[in-house]
Amino acid sequence: MRRWIRQTLLGAPLATELAEAERVGVLGGLAVFAADGLSSVAYGPEEILHMLAPTGNAGLAYTVPVAIAIAVLIFVVATSYRQTVMAYPGGGGAYVVARDNLGTSAAHVVGGALLTDYVLTVSVSVAAGTAAITSAWPSLYEERIWLAVAAVALIAFVNLRGVREAAAAFALPVYGFIVLTLALVGLGLWKTAQGALTPLAPPTPTGALQPLTLFIILRAFSSGCASLTGIEAVADGVQAFAPPVGRRAAKVLGLLAMLLAAMVVGVSLLAHKMGVVPIATETVTSQIARSVFGHGAWYFAMQLATALILILAANTSFAGFPRLAAFMARDGYVPRQMMNLGDRLVHSNGILILGLVAAMLIVVFQGEVARLIPLYAVGVFTAFTLSQAGMVVHWLRQDTGRYRAVVNGFGATIIGVVLVVIAATKFVHGAWLICLLIPLLTLVFRKIKSHYDHVAVRLSLDMAGEVKPMKNLNLLLVGGMHRGTLQALEYLKTLSTSARAVHVESGGEAEPRIQRLWSEWEKQVPLVILPAPYRSLTTPLLQYIQEVKEQEGYDTVTVILPEFIVDNFWQSLLHNHSALWLQLRLSQVPGVAVLNMRYKL
């Protein structure tokens, strides 16, 4: 039954040899990996305006120049990563580049920064998506947190079905958003040129609340740099593309850079021309769309597309986080379970962990984008900087890589300066948490690696020495004398001559019923009755195991737990499952093996 439900929800398991067929092309890759970058159009320009609006008209005049500076930075980062995916078609992105060229410490920083950023990407994008929905339908505002959590669960579910399933499911919303946003920008600029648009806010605010300073402009720039997040996911997920993987990933990066730059500058230019400023009850994109399209079907289509792309931006993280975690798990820096492929050839553990942590962040921060944004971008720009520095080292090791080293060196310098600006301007507004979290994560990675190295040394054949023969005692735990016990006894007799049955008596009877029946039904295997005055099943058994090992010289003890199997799930709820709890307890005791002997009723 459970298997049928699983296959109905997630689909039939895919064989490993079908992994190649599950890869995507350029159009599918754009749908899977570009949603995060494209979605930032809905909140990147708004964050610029949030920083500049309190300074009045003098500050708002810098809206377009700041957006252009961000567009230039988009092309710098995309160009640098195009070289990365061509040089490292095996995937892993910034983490692998840093590991191979800058060492493990840099790789730890990059890994921690990107894993953190992926989680924040899901939280921010889904929170912003629900904000777009509540802008169009204000009656849903009070339910925004649970709408966001439900959206995270839905995206995780789709990704558990496989990469191609995700690409097919998300292609229409992604391309719909692209078409509608380009139409919004094109029609809006045309109407502005014709003088057909009336400003939604006074072009000159009544008074500036604070003076315009360079620090304010830099804060606006750093907030708008959230538009660059998501670019690195293409490099992390190169192996999701069909061959030639490097070229396809590079094409996706080029398309993403052109679309993202055009949209960020276009929306910012429209906001400036129309005098739009952020308000609490409606997003900037919604204000622009309502003015350009009118309060009709096209407006609601734009809001729906914006909400969908913002929510689906989380899909980029669901594509990148599990793959990055798998690379790090292969190196021993995160739990090895992150490498495991699920039934649908995706890293299911990474998908589930990402969804759970992101949902928790949404609840903690009450789904407010403004509270999450200050945590954003520090991690990804740290990864950008170290990745490009690593590519400089990579190219310098090759005789023909001098020109490419200059390109990546320029990118590393520019991005490094931006990282300092972001960290400085956002530090007191929440970025300090990320600046503290990344070093803590590097310590965790080192601790995990140390554990795996210790285990490998202890399990090495070099440590084996001379293996001595072992003396084992088989103990059959019986709760009563019945047909199942007789079946278990027959199984016990096939194992060895060193066998006993054990009954833990918690009822306080001097002569339990099982003792009377035992002499009638069993002549070979002796029965040991252990009193349990405090009604504990495990304590008397563990004490007896310790006694036989010490007094009788047994090296190991095998405990056999007979269990019957019921026909339906609900029937299992009617039984106490004491064997399960006992198995969990015994699994922590050295020199004890546990066998489950199951039989049908």
Q: Which of 76, 100, 37, 123 is nearest to 384 (CA)?
A: 76
pLDDT of the residue at 61: 84
pLDDT of the residue at 306: 82
pLDDT of the residue at 286: 83
Q: List strand residue ranges (DSSP E) for 510-566, in order.
A: 527-531, 556-565
pLDDT of the residue at 570: 66
Residue 14 lies in a domain: no
Q: What mean pLDDT do residues 201-227 have? A: 68
Tokens representing residue 345 in the block: 């050839």
Residue 6 lies in a domain: no
pLDDT of the residue at 15: 52
Least confident of 11-20, 235-244, 388-397: 11-20
DSSP annotation of 478: -
Q: Helix (H, G, I), strand (E, B), or coil: what is residue 270? A: helix
Domain identity same for 291 and 389: yes
Domain identity same for 132 and 177: yes
pTM: 0.70
Residue 198 clears pLDDT 80, i.e. is over it: no
Share of the chain above pLDDT 90, in %: 5
pLDDT of the residue at 22: 60
Domain identity same for 370 and 490: no
How many Cα atoms sit within 13 Å of 149 on the Cβ side?
Answer: 14
Tokens representing residue 577 in the block: 């499952």
Domain identity same for 251 and 383: yes
Q: What mean pLDDT do residues 44-64 have? A: 82
**Are 513 and 505 spatial neighbours (Cβ–Cβ below 8 Å)?**
no
pLDDT of the residue at 440: 93
Residue 426 lies in a domain: yes
pLDDT of the residue at 323: 84
**Are 184 and 289 spatial neighbours (Cβ–Cβ below 8 Å)?**
yes
Residue 406 clears pLDDT 70, i.e. is over it: yes
Domain identity same for 490 and 443: no
Share of the chain above pLDDT 70, in %: 84
Q: What mean pLDDT do residues 347-368 have? A: 83
Contacts of 177 (CB under 8 A, 6+ apart): 38, 39, 305, 306, 308, 309
Contacts of 313 (CB under 8 A, 6+ apart): 35, 36, 38, 39, 40, 121, 125, 126, 129, 230
Contacts of 561 (CB under 8 A, 6+ apart): 477, 579, 582, 583, 594, 595, 596, 597
More reliable by pLDDT, 201 or 502 = 502
Domain identity same for 338 and 448: yes
Distances (CA, A) of 122 to 46, 256, 296, 427: 18, 19, 30, 21
Instruction: Work out the pLDDT band at 108, boundaries 50, 70, 90.
Output: very high
Instruction: Work out the pLDDT band at 601, boundaries 50, 70, 90.
Output: low
pLDDT of the residue at 369: 63
Residue 461 lies in a domain: no
pLDDT of the residue at 208: 47
Residue 223 lies in a domain: yes
Q: Which of 361, 356, 388 is nearest to 373 (CA)?
A: 361
* Last residue in a domain, options 394, 426, 453: 453
By the 10 Å C-beta count (0-12 exposed, 13-18 middle, 19+ buried), 424 is classed as middle
pLDDT digits (tens, 9 = 90+) for 565-575: 766 666 666 65
Domain identity same for 506 and 443: no
Domain identity same for 180 and 116: yes
Q: What mean pLDDT do residues 292-310 have? A: 84
pLDDT of the residue at 373: 62
Phi, psi of 563 (to 5 degrees): -140, 140
More reliable by pLDDT, 357 or 460 = 357
Residue 15 lies in a domain: no
**Domain total of the chain:** 2
Instruction: Work out the pLDDT band at 445, boundaries 50, 70, 90.
Output: very high
More reliable by pLDDT, 92 or 336 = 336
pLDDT of the residue at 446: 93
Residue 508 lies in a domain: yes
Neighbours of 378 (CB within 10 A): 27
Domain identity same for 145 and 230: yes
pLDDT digits (tens, 9 = 90+) for 158-193: 777 766 666 666 678 888 888 998 999 899 888 888
Instruction: Work out the pLDDT band at 203, boundaries 50, 70, 90.
Output: very low
Domain identity same for 480 and 565: yes
Residue 13 lies in a domain: no
Greatest mean pLDDT range, 15-24, 125-134, 320-329: 320-329
The string of DSSP codes covering 199-242 is -SS-SS-S--SS---HHHHHHHHHHHGGGGTTHHHHHHTGGGBP
pLDDT of the residue at 314: 76
Domain that holds residue 491: 472-600
Cis peptide leading into residue 244 (ω within 30°): yes
Q: Helix (H, G, I), strand (E, B), or coil: what is residue 96? A: helix
Domain identity same for 425 and 543: no
CA angle 251, 118, 28 (to 5 degrees): 30
Residue 43 clears pLDDT 80, i.e. is over it: no
Domain identity same for 448 and 591: no
CATH number for the domain harbouring residue 560: 3.40.50
Contacts of 258 (CB under 8 A, 6+ apart): none
CATH number for the domain harbouring residue 367: 1.20.1740.10
Tokens representing residue 400 in the block: 């023909």
> Radius of gyration (Cα) for the chain, nearest Å?
31
